[in-house]
Structure 1
Amino acid sequence: MAKHVLPIVHPPLYGLLSWAYTLSITSSMPNFNPWFYSNFIQVCCNKYYLEDKQELFFDFYRGGNNELNHNPFLLSSTIDTPMLYEIFKEKLHPFLTKKIQEGVYPVLFLDEYHISYTTAYHAYPFPHHVLVYGYDEDRQIYHTYGFGKDLLLGYHETTFDELEQAFHSIDNYLKNNAIYDQHNYFFTLLPHFVYSLNIRLIYEQLGEYLRSESSNNDQNRYFSPDKEFLAFGIACYDHLIEHFYILDHHPESLVRANPPRQLHLLWEHKKMLRNRVAYLQKENKFPQDEGLLLEFLELEELAHHSRNLYAEHVVKGIPQVHEHIKHNLERMRDMELELIPKLMDQLKRHTELLLPA
């Protein structure tokens, strides 16, 4: 076939591509929302980031090291880069086009230094995953999805030559031990997969979020050996607040500060909380409560304001921005300590929950 394009949509979460890529493939599925709103409740951060000289990494938590293997609507195959290179170094293109024709979505580990729509293009090496969802033989391009020079997630075109160069470059880095391999993924959609809304799981995760713990005892999650090094749930606010204090008073002690990503992911979490309440009300899991929904909307708007305020600070410079955001984080934490028990009480009173005795 001269060209073939697989369907994707803009995902509901996109702060990290580990969520965005799989959600872009599956979020238009008929049974997607029951699974989506039954999950993506818990969050985590690396609480020893200062001692370990790491970036403070804040994200949704679904069981640890299961990046790109967390979505039940997808059949996933993983190939490490040295093996992929050894088998297909001279014939990657025929392999990719065959997979796409079969309905498989490749997510390749590439060096974005060679990908022209990225900020890294001819500027600096940047090993990263790239979703390939189609190709056009006549135009000699792949259809790819990712962050562009405008820092927005979108649809792009990558020439066959660019992708080949990016593939060979990654192999060179690995041979020189300059990076560690993050593997290549191949996703096949499971169109008949059915998932029912899991109220018990929602209730349990909300409780664990408030208690700042993660049991990892559900089939929807995976065991993580790194669990003891992570802070969970509401306790993440302590580390975010600390981080913005350090940005103000001791920025030299931070290996890499990345407030835009942290604040964007924080906003996505609050957006999910608000959307989940709206979805549960729509599904009649508890009575319509406009007041509760408005309170969660206020929480989301505070997170959104914080994200946008810092983005404005990057461009213009805003006095006392770190102190302002620190105050917002403290307020969000206090709001959640009131709102989440309210939500749990609504679920418990109006739903037959299969909770342990």
Structure 2
Amino acid sequence: MNAVQLPVLSPPLKGFLRWAYTLSITSAHEETIPWYYSNFIQLSCKKTFLEDGRQFYIDFFRGKPNELNFNNPFLLTCSVNYTILEHLALDTWPQFFADQIRSGYYCVVFLDEAKLPPAAAYQQEPFPHHLFLYGFDWDKRVFDASMFDHTGVYRNLQIPFTEFQDAVHSMRNLLKEGFTADHHTYFYKYEPHSPYPFDRIVALDQLHDYLNGETHLNRINYNPDEEQAFGIDVYDYLQMYYDAVESNDPRLGERNDVRHLHVLWEHKKMMSERIGYLVDEGMIPYDEQLVNGYQDITTRAMKLRDQYIRHEIRKDNEIFTKVRLRLEQFRKEEPVLLQRLISFLED
């Protein structure tokens, strides 16, 4: 087989590659849908971004380790570091990864994106990152890959073997120089799981955690990170972040203003879709207040993200008033809707 493409779908969550990569695999299989809607309820964010000057983030939270590290029940996962791959000659890397794909393994390769022309970091400072490979064409000497391109859009594209090798070679040098730690290369094979019906207990636990601003996930192995806020408390730190942006606070580290609002929108969209799924499956009754309430929050969250994108193109400082208003509204309205959802799930 000179060309192989493993099945992928456009992932439902694209805010961070850990979700985009793994969900692009599992979303291609209908049996994973109940698991998907049982999860992705909790949010977390960084609390101490002004004190330590490190980048603020907001993201879905499914405990530790993160989704690249053996955290998806439908993916058989292997990981290797550059120490193990060190004796693999650079000109044999395309063959090695093509062989893994031919064997049914999706590959998530740790490399330097600054050497990949589609990347935002191309020909700039080194940018250690993971690249998702799901196919190859040996005759054209290209990999089928997914990544965030120079516009910040997640898409499928082709990476020539030569560019792939340049990015790997650069990553080898960066590791030797101590520029970054080795974040490993991963191999995923889709394996049908034993039946996974929608799990009310899992969903309810996450809903209660969200409302209480806490987490109980994986506490048998990990204490909650004191630098993280959870659930409803995320709104306070999100507002703190945009206050710092508005005032040009010098303590603010690397910024990614739109991504935070994009993740917030993805969360509301996911909650609204989950409610629709539960109604369609007959697990909760149709409730106009709940359904319309979350659809309305989702619409306003998407509009806010889009307004911020326009603000970054043509400055409009009124955006910060809009951000403050929307975050206050969501913080007030969401608990009422979630309590309603909890009551239906507990009924």
TM-score normalised per structure 1: 0.93
The aligned counterpart of 1:283 is 281
1:278-314 deviation digits (Å, cap 9, x = unpaired): 0110110111123310100011112111111110100
The aligned counterpart of 1:36 is 36
Q: Distance in 1 between matches of 2:157 and 2:187?
A: 19
The aligned counterpart of 1:292 is 290
Q: Distance in 2 between matches of 1:273 and 1:297?
A: 9
| Greater shift in the superposed pair: 257-266 or 79-88 | 79-88
Query: C-alpha displacement at 1:192, in angstroms?
Result: 4.8
Q: Distance in 1 between matches of 2:118 and 2:86?
A: 24
| Greater shift in the superposed pair: 202-211 or 242-251 | 242-251
Q: Distance in 2 between matches of 1:252 and 1:327?
A: 24
Provide the secondary structure at the position in 2 that maps to 1:31.
Answer: helix
Query: C-alpha displacement at 1:324, in angstroms?
Result: 1.5
Matches within 5 A, 1:149-164: 149-164=150-165
Provide the secondary structure at the position in 2 that maps to 1:91.
Answer: helix
Q: Evaluate the alpha carbon distance shift between residue 173 and residue 47 of structure 1 in structure 2; reply closer, same or farther with a 3 A threshold.
A: same
CA contact (8 A) 2:239 2:324 kept: yes
CA contact (8 A) 1:260 1:310 kept: yes
Q: Equivalent pairs: percent with the same residue?
A: 36
The aligned counterpart of 1:353 is none
Matches within 5 A, 1:244-263: 244-263=242-261
Q: Evaluate the alpha carbon distance shift between residue 335 and residue 223 of structure 1 in structure 2; reply closer, same or farther with a 3 A threshold.
A: farther
Query: C-alpha displacement at 1:88, in angstroms?
Result: 4.8
Q: Distance in 2 between matches of 1:261 and 1:192?
A: 32
Provide the secondary structure at the position in 1 that maps to 2:49.
Answer: coil
CA contact (8 A) 1:245 1:323 kept: no
Provide the secondary structure at the position in 1 that maps to 2:44.
Answer: strand
Q: Evaluate the alpha carbon distance shift between residue 54 and residue 319 of structure 1 in structure 2; reply closer, same or farther with a 3 A threshold.
A: same
Which segments of structure 1 move beyond 4 Å, counting only runs of 4 or more? none
The aligned counterpart of 1:200 is 201
Q: Distance in 1 between matches of 2:173 and 2:326?
A: 45
CA contact (8 A) 1:216 1:223 kept: no
The aligned counterpart of 2:318 is 320
Query: C-alpha displacement at 1:224, in angstroms?
Result: 3.3
1:315-344 deviation digits (Å, cap 9, x = unpaired): 111132122202211111101121111111
Q: Distance in 1 between matches of 2:144 and 2:120?
A: 18
Query: C-alpha displacement at 1:225, in angstroms?
Result: 4.4
| Greater shift in the superposed pair: 9-18 or 149-158 | 149-158
CA contact (8 A) 1:302 1:332 kept: no
CA contact (8 A) 1:43 1:60 kept: yes
Q: Which runs of 5+ in 2 are unaligned?
A: none
CA contact (8 A) 1:248 1:323 kept: no
CA contact (8 A) 1:112 1:121 kept: yes
CA contact (8 A) 1:63 1:223 kept: no
Q: Distance in 1 between matches of 2:212 and 2:193?
A: 36
The aligned counterpart of 1:335 is 333
Q: Distance in 1 between matches of 2:64 and 2:227?
A: 11
Matches within 5 A, 1:75-224: 75-217=76-218, 223-224=221-222
Is 1:227 matched up with 2:228? Answer: no
Equivalent AA in structure 1 for residue 156 of structure 2: Y
TM-score normalised per structure 2: 0.96
Two-structure CA RMSD over aligned residues (Å): 1.6
Q: Distance in 2 between matches of 1:65 and 1:317?
A: 39
Q: Evaluate the alpha carbon distance shift between residue 193 and residue 130 of structure 1 in structure 2; reply closer, same or farther with a 3 A threshold.
A: farther
CA contact (8 A) 1:45 1:231 kept: yes
CA contact (8 A) 2:4 2:135 kept: yes
| Greater shift in the superposed pair: 160-169 or 256-265 | 256-265
CA contact (8 A) 1:64 1:226 kept: no
Provide the secondary structure at the position in 1 that maps to 2:155.
Answer: strand
Q: Distance in 1 between matches of 2:243 and 2:232?
A: 18
Q: Distance in 1 between matches of 2:87 and 2:320?
A: 49
Query: C-alpha displacement at 1:110, in angstroms?
Result: 1.0
Query: C-alpha displacement at 1:64, in angstroms?
Result: 2.8
Give the total of aligned pairs: 346
Provide the secondary structure at the position in 2 that maps to 1:130.
Answer: strand
Equivalent AA in structure 1 for residue 262 of structure 2: H
CA contact (8 A) 2:119 2:150 kept: yes
Q: Which runs of 5+ in 1 are unaligned?
A: 350-357
Q: Distance in 1 between matches of 2:193 and 2:210?
A: 32
CA contact (8 A) 1:79 1:184 kept: yes
Q: Evaluate the alpha carbon distance shift between residue 100 and residue 193 of structure 1 in structure 2; reply closer, same or farther with a 3 A threshold.
A: farther
Q: Distance in 2 between matches of 1:309 and 1:171?
A: 41
Equivalent AA in structure 1 for residue 184 of structure 2: H
Equivalent AA in structure 1 for residue 41 of structure 2: I
CA contact (8 A) 1:88 1:95 kept: no
1:149-181 deviation digits (Å, cap 9, x = unpaired): 332111101101000110010010010001111
Q: Distance in 1 between matches of 2:89 and 2:239?
A: 48
CA contact (8 A) 2:51 2:251 kept: no
Provide the secondary structure at the position in 2 that maps to 1:51.
Answer: helix
